[in-house]
Structure 1
Amino acid sequence: MNYIQHLNARLVDFYDDDRLHPGHFSLYMALFFYWNLHRFTEEFFANRTELMKMAKIGSKSTYHRLLKELQDFGFIEYRPAKSPHELSMVKLSQNCTDSGTLVGRTRTIFGTYRPKSVPDTLYIKQYKPNKRSLGAKPRSQLEVLDFFKEKKYDLEEAFKFFNHYQAIGWRIGGKVAIKDWKAASDNWMLKAKELAHEKKKKKAANGSDHLITQTEKDYGQPL
């Protein structure tokens, strides 16, 4: 996946498509951003809240209309969830033109003008520490998903972890503020493994296999 080539091709496509308006452009760029965060997987989870915030869309109906239109125009494939237990997924079309055709189309639109060189100092990112840099809470649900993927944790637990602490303001027991959400997620997974083990143990003890006896018998004794 060539990030620059794909993005440039889509911008040229947008230039030629009179059906599109700023809402489509804004939503597509938000989708492209989250696609990049997911390392350009074939499809990825569409978090409506995060996408609406990124695209500056204030209405759910507008959000769904723009998604449908982008799909009808051939830019994305949208698979909505059929139940509260499923995830809505999005796939971005990758049928971009090759680099030679793209360069020719770009020159036709913008000519051969080359801007003057820009001082390197303008590209230096000024880093200013803030509360988020301390890791008190994640920037978004996607950051939690990426962390759980990196640690090879169950992604279902990532949603449970995020929703739980998001609901109580990222505080342990609703009182003490979390200082490191990644450490809290490690503890969450340890607890989840303990609960899963206890559940499995309890199921076995409840007679899931009637041939298993809980007492030892001395088979040396006569009947």
Structure 2
Amino acid sequence: MNYIKHLNAIFEVFASDTRLNPTHISLYFALFQMWNENRFPNSFLVDRNSTMLLSKIGSRTTYHRCISNLHQWEYIVYEPSQNRFKGSRVRMPIFEISPGQVADMNDTTDELAVVSYININKHIKTNNKLSRESIPKNEQVVLNFFKNNHWEAVEATRFYNHYQGIGWKVGGNSSIEDWRAFAKKWMLKANELNADKEPARKPRKKGKVDYLQTTTKKNYGEPL
């Protein structure tokens, strides 16, 4: 077990994995510290209360969700205990720069598994590419986005019709990578144009105003 190589690899994986939040990372390093204190065994027992205290997690629901996520995403192997008087068991696969080996979670050997973070990064990048919405699915998606940002619906329709008409491209060649970012630019430009159209307020005349003064000559001899 190379402490430095493992940390370097896991930090690089964490930086690329958009599924993780700070609670996942805090929990992982709490488990890593416990693994370190036990001199990196093949597996070790964990106590929920102690782990929550070390990872600064205050909710049991959050703890169980995060540890289940780490298990699902193959950062750890979590074996929950069915006995409340006995702690659950955790295995920590090794992350290294070497791309040759992948962890076998069903392996019964005493040797620690080695995980290739290169393969994990490829999987993460593929998921990110598929999940990124370069163009909206339909006009309703755009309307909902504008509504959530408290923008006028008419601007949403103008935005959608404009870019739908030009095939969601920039300069006629480059495809839009993030339509939401272009929507924000659209609204910034729209707000600037609206500000330019507002008529200038007439400055007030200094001094007192004579509200009894009239400009129209009247014949007060005529009956009302």
Q: TM-score if structure 2 supplies the norm length?
A: 0.43
- Bigger helix share: 1
Q: TM-score if structure 1 supplies the norm length?
A: 0.43
